[in-house]
Amino acid sequence: MNSRRDFLQKLAASAMALPLLPLQNLAGSAEYANFYNTPYDGPVLRVAIMGLGSYGTRVAKAMQDCKRARLTGVISGTPSKIKAWQARYNIPEKNCYNYENFDQVKDNPDIDAIYVITPNGLHHDQVIRVAKAGKHAICEKPMAVNAKEGQEMVDACNQAGVKLLVGYRMHFEPKTLEVIRMRKAGEFGKILFFQGQCGFTIGDPTQWRLNRELAGGGALMDIGIYAINGARYMTGEEPVWITAQETKTNPEKFKEGVDETIQFQMGFPSGAVASCLSTYNMSHLDRFFLNGEKGFAEMQPSTGYGPIKGRTHKGELTQPHITHQTLQMDEMAGIILDGKQPVVDVSGEEGVRDLKIIDAIYEACRTGDKQQLS
């Protein structure tokens, strides 16, 4: 297994072979049902994808089912990929750019937003260039390699008057939103504990995810961010302290600055605690567990491409699977075009919050000290 993408794609394989259930069956999602089952002729967000790798391909395919977002451009350093995408998605030559000339997109009215799906270490400069070109930016997570760079990206987009959104697809996933609804409604009672386990055995040692300069770290940046973000949206709180321990069994494969396995703990203002695991050296880890005084929620798989599976003290979660990236892009179109407020934030500020926690986890591993967060 070469990457998190491969891992999540394997989890999704069985789901992709199944027909989607009617959207009307979604608990509490009459808005989705009405939207996807009625004709739409309103404004559409015109999107260029930057980075035409496996995940960019997945997003492009999912966007074919979107009603409010449309793929209208591409940015890549590989001419052969551009040609293939032009043919597959009917993209005109004038909407195709490379990494050297994509600043010219500022003069292209066919593109409203650029979705940056490149290695983590490139996000900072690329998003700032997108902002300077006057286009909205959607950035894959983690949005940067540290909180300082993330804040600079937020500031650049604010200064340019464009939106910066982060590709938190789970923030729109129906089963996830049902657990959040139950928590907000008090159905779990006082939240006591969260556990997040995220990991797989990574393959090719030469890939960019094991290159510190491009990845910004190791498993924590790639897969552990799901547990960090999940702890926050499942508990509904921001952590106030962090402890962490790193384990490395293969220093040849996992060089200095590239983490193999990190266990980390977080404490929240209410007294709730989280215990999480992020690893590139163990497979079959994709589980969230939330415990409260009145009940619980368990999701496994919790963050794969789908279908997400889960249960609570009230029974199985039955919301049907909808392609995550389709929902994400339609919802992001609503945010950009209409100022719609999502249930869970997907702004650049949200991305910075996760990066501050990542910074603190790495510092806790380095020093062995508990890190206090303001």
Question: DSSP string covering 48-61, please?
Answer: EEE--SHHHHHHHH
Q: Which residues contact 245 (CB under 8 A, 6 or more apart)?
A: 262, 263, 264, 365
Task: Classify residue 64 by its DSSP letter.
Answer: T
Helices (H), the chain: 4-16, 30-36, 54-63, 79-89, 120-132, 147-160, 174-184, 212-215, 219, 225-235, 324-338, 348-367
pLDDT of residue 3: 52
What would the pLDDT profile of 199-250 be if each residue is shown by its tens digit?
999 999 999 999 999 999 999 999 999 999 999 999 999 999 999 999 999 9
Domains of the chain, start order: 15-168 (3.40.50.720), 170-320+347-372 (3.30.360.10)
Both tokens of 105, joined, read: 């997109």
Would you name the residues annotated as active-site residues?
Answer: 141, 226
**How many whole angstroms separate alpha carbon 325 and alpha carbon 69?**
11
> Could you give the C-alpha distances from 193 to 117, 172, 200, 236, 309, in angstroms and in order?
33, 23, 24, 12, 20
279: region left, alpha or beta (phi > 0 left; psi from -120 to 50 alpha): beta
Contact 15, 6 (CB under 8 A): no
Kindly give the interhelix angle for 174-184 and 225-235, rounded to the nearest 10 degrees: 40
pLDDT of residue 226: 98
Q: What percent of the chain has pLDDT over 70?
A: 91
**How many whole angstroms separate alpha carbon 45 and alpha carbon 145?**
28
Q: Are strands 241-247 and 371-372 parallel, antiparallel or unpaired?
A: antiparallel
Distance of CA 69 to the CA centre of its chain: 18
**How many whole angstroms separate alpha carbon 149 and alpha carbon 194?**
29
pLDDT, the chain, mean: 93
Q: Residue 245: phi, psi to the nearest 5?
A: -140, 135
Confidence bin at 39 (pLDDT 50/70/90): confident
Q: Which residues contact 125 (CB under 8 A, 6 or more apart)?
A: none
3-state secondary structure at position 121? helix
Confidence bin at 266 (pLDDT 50/70/90): very high
pLDDT of residue 36: 75
What would the pLDDT profile of 130-163 be if each residue is shown by its tens digit?
999 999 999 999 999 999 999 999 999 999 999 9
More confident site: 68 or 10: 68
Omega of the bond prior to 142 within 30 degrees of 0, cis?
yes
Lowest mean pLDDT among 21-25, 137-141, 246-250, 273-277: 21-25
